[in-house]
Amino acid sequence: MDMAIKSRKHPLPRTTTGRSLTAATLLTSLTLGAPATVLAETSGGPAAEAQATTLDGVHVEGHRVKRYSGQSASPKFNQPLVDTTRTLSVIGSDLFNEQGATTLTEALRNSPGVSTFYVGENGNTTTGDAVYLRGFDTSGSIFVDGVRDLGSVSRDVFNLEQIEVAKGPAGTDYGRTAPTGAINLVSKRASMVGRNSATASYGSGDHKRLTGDWNHVFASGTAFRLNLMAQDSGVPGRDVVENKRWGVAPALAFGLDSATRVYLEMLHVQHENIPDGGLPTIGLPAYSSPDPDRPAIGTAPAVDPENFYGTLADHDDVTADMVTVRVEHDFTDGARLINTTRWGRTEQDYMLTAFMGSATNLGTPDINDPASWTITRNLPTFKDQRNRILTNQTHLDLAVDAGGAQHDITTGLELIREELETHGVGVVGGTAWPDANLYDPDPAVVGLAWAGTGAHGEGRTDTAALYAFDTITLNDRWQVNGGLRIDHYTTEYSSLVPCGGRRGPDCGGADDGTIVPGVDAETSDTLFNWKLGALYKPADNGSIYANYAISQQPPGGGSLELSDRANSADNPAFDPQKAKTAEVGTKWQFAGDALLLTAALYDTEITNEIVQDPTDQTYYQNGRKRVRGVELGAVGRISDAWMVSAGFTTMDTEVVEGPTVSTDGSTDLAYTPDHAFTAWSTYRFDNGLTVGGGARYSGELKRGNDGAVGTPAYTEDYWVVDAVASYAFNPDFELRLNLYNLLDEDYVAAINKSGYRYTPGAPRSAMLTASFRF
């Protein structure tokens, strides 16, 4: 099966009915090695019977050709990838499944410089997909089939066809977003191709995982698909931490052989995890004692990376539900109308025993005996949060010839309601966990009690958006394109909070911790986001392009919460944060359009950053940051047997105006590697054996600037090498062995703002997977 990176703006006409066999079904059946009985069952009628009596039998052998890239599934990107005037990475399920990835953050390792580099601030450990992209947190800019996905949860990939990473401002495409991009997850849908598969995996860290994918085709263009997942796993190299979840995703489709198609889809995922608060940074390179009176702390050995400093009571329980109704209609003139309605809900109950290795919290009963040292577990972090979304999107595609030019137009209307509800949880009666031994912590402890505090928060954002895009093909060599999106939003937020403490309001004579009114605010505005691009095709298989785009993130845009703090971007007194990106690049297809090579240079400037004036101590929006870089990519099939996915980026980050944000005092942005590289390649032999692997490189990370003393100002760069080998015993059964971190590299995957805690990279580990097709 050829893997061509081509665009098809509208589905091909479907003329088959009843039990007849389409060319696509026949081709897919042959590629998957379907038995001859499938052909017999899908053909019928007198003509078929006559052919069966006059033609000799044909024996077909084949194997499944894996694909690594494809066209964007978003109707807003209506051109082939080679003619898309921006950096847009498409990570296919064949790629991340072959790597054994189970979560979004693992799959995103295939895009250079995109990962979870930041653990969180102080004891508030970041949960879920805390993704950084080109120097900025992109966790609030994750979408599923073009609809925003709320909640700080870890997303499983069992129901995904592909992941699309749009780098640079994406406000024109999706609405309010992070300044450096957005991530769109493309769900599996019922189709007219019968495909049934299952996997069973076991690996290091007592990893156990089962998945199933069943697609059944009925008569009259109706199909049903069911995806299932169950996982119960530890984490290689970490004690106690647990990832336990299960999910079910049924999907039903009608009218697949007609001009009007209806898709009904549901998703339910449930997590019962034990979260990871990380390790103390003591003993890491560049670490020094936080206490000048105890310099011996600075020369102490690092802790065992398997140590767990939380307790058995720690938990991260998540329930996520999603219901989608999508209706598509093809008009006779080639236009297409799509209407999508989505309801989603995420509930999270979270408690993590965090810690801070400051001078006060590090106990040294015998300064000469590190085995006696302790660390205080005094920062329990709680979260009781619910997110809901209800949206309707109406989208129209049409092609128009006007003035001798071809216009590919997409336009639409989105109506969105997003809601947030939080409930405060706190420690009861001054209780506490006992201190942990620094080098031998015990998670099986008692002592802390917690309950609801009565604190409460409610946020809601209503958005009405209009957008329009036009790609104008002037001739065989030149295209210009542009897009405009107008979002009118209203955000309301109110809260009850405990008074006193570090950030609470004044208690007015009441006891500290008394629940009092907090924020009661509303903001409303209209955002104008736009982009403009030009493309030249020096050859049919290549393009050179330039693009300019802007996006905006208003107060409350990332979390639905408004703030009354003078230094918070969520304070409604401030204007939206703005991002502008200029990009030039080139893209080329080779190997029969199966291999895509890309190169891009970009310059992103973020304005309206909030900074404090050193003279009057007042906060103003005159801060500016900049990210400049180069990104190279290669993805696809070099030959029928040889697949590759690779990318390299270099990022020059800078605080242009405002105080520094990295603790070393430089103008560099924190949590952003200056260089990053990722590569994966496999080769399949004729006997069914596939071998391959890849490597990842991340440059040095600088942590954020705060008052922490004695902690590392940076983390060292690192290489990680992985390998894979699989053997297809027949078209329906394959065994795959994944080996991770072959060189057993010790590295810091992420660090928190104060630098007291870090997440270690996984050590050498393995996973064996059996894949079945039936």
Is the Cα torsion angle 733, 158, 338, 175 positive or negative in sign?
negative
Q: Is residue 300 part of a domain?
A: yes
Reduced to 3 states (helix: H, G, I; strand: E, B; else coil), residue 31 is helix
CA atoms within 13 A on the CB side of 263: 25
Share of the chain above pLDDT 90, in %: 75
According to the model, what pLDDT value does residue 49 have? 34
Q: Please tell me which of 150-159, 396-405, 461-470 the model is most confident about, judged by mean pLDDT.
A: 461-470
According to the model, what pLDDT value does residue 509 have? 86
Report the 10 Å Cβ neighbour count for 614.
Answer: 7
Q: How far is CA 709 from the centre of its chain?
A: 33
- Work out the average pLDDT over 517-545: 96
- CA–CA–CA angle 459, 465, 468 (5° rounding): 155
Report the 10 Å Cβ neighbour count for 277.
Answer: 24
pTM of the model: 0.89
pLDDT-wise least confident of 57-61, 109-113, 437-441? 57-61
- Work out the average pLDDT over 565-575: 92
According to the model, what pLDDT value does residue 18 have? 36
Contact 348, 317 (CB under 8 A): yes
Q: Is residue 33 part of a domain?
A: no
Q: Is residue 552 part of a domain?
A: yes
Share of the chain above pLDDT 70, in %: 90
- Work out the average pLDDT over 29-40: 34
Q: Is residue 46 part of a domain?
A: no
According to the model, what pLDDT value does residue 135 have? 84
pLDDT digits (tens, 9 = 90+) for 73-87: 888 888 999 999 999
Contact 238, 304 (CB under 8 A): no
Which residues form the domain of 524? Answer: 81-773
Residue 542 CA to residue 596 CA, distance in Å, equals: 9
pLDDT digits (tens, 9 = 90+) for 105-153: 999 999 998 888 888 775 566 677 888 888 888 888 999 999 999 888 8
Q: Is residue 201 part of a domain?
A: yes
Q: Is residue 41 part of a domain?
A: no
- For the stretch 83-111, what's the b/e string if a residue is b when 16 or more beta carbons lie within 10 angstroms of its beta carbon? bbbbbbbbbbbbbbbbbbbbbbbbbbbbb
Q: Please tell me which of 331-335, 399-403, 652-656 the model is most confident about, judged by mean pLDDT.
A: 652-656
pLDDT digits (tens, 9 = 90+) for 243-255: 999 999 999 999 9
Q: Work out the pLDDT band at 23, boundaries 50, 70, 90.
A: very low
**What are the angstrom distances between the C-alpha of 524 and each of 518, 589, 600?**
20, 45, 36
Question: Strand pairing of 147-148 and 142-144?
Answer: antiparallel
Residue 149 CA to residue 130 CA, distance in Å, equals: 13
Q: Is residue 40 part of a domain?
A: no
According to the model, what pLDDT value does residue 198 have? 98
According to the model, what pLDDT value does residue 503 have? 78
According to the model, what pLDDT value does residue 150 have? 84
pLDDT digits (tens, 9 = 90+) for 712-730: 989 999 999 999 999 999 9
pLDDT digits (tens, 9 = 90+) for 166-221: 998 899 999 998 888 999 999 999 999 888 999 999 999 999 999 999 999 998 89
According to the model, what pLDDT value does residue 1 have? 37
Q: Work out the pLDDT band at 308, boundaries 50, 70, 90.
A: very high
Show the tokens assigned to 620. Answer: 């103003």
Q: Can you give the CATH number for the domain in which 115 is found?
A: 2.40.170.20
Q: Work out the pLDDT band at 15, boundaries 50, 70, 90.
A: very low
Reduced to 3 states (helix: H, G, I; strand: E, B; else coil), residue 96 is helix
| Burial (Cβ within 10 Å: 0-12, 13-18, ≥19) of residue 292 | exposed
Alpha helices in 273-334 (DSSP H): none
Q: Please tell me which of 16-25, 43-52, 335-344 the model is most confident about, judged by mean pLDDT.
A: 335-344
pLDDT digits (tens, 9 = 90+) for 386-410: 999 999 999 999 999 988 899 999 9
Reduced to 3 states (helix: H, G, I; strand: E, B; else coil), residue 512 is coil
According to the model, what pLDDT value does residue 45 have? 37
- Residues 6 or more apart whose CB falls under 8 angstroms from that of 452 comprise 384, 423, 424, 425
Contact 79, 48 (CB under 8 A): no
Residue 713 CA to residue 118 CA, distance in Å, equals: 14
The number of distinct structural domains making up the chain is 1
According to the model, what pLDDT value does residue 63 have? 47
Q: Is residue 633 part of a domain?
A: yes
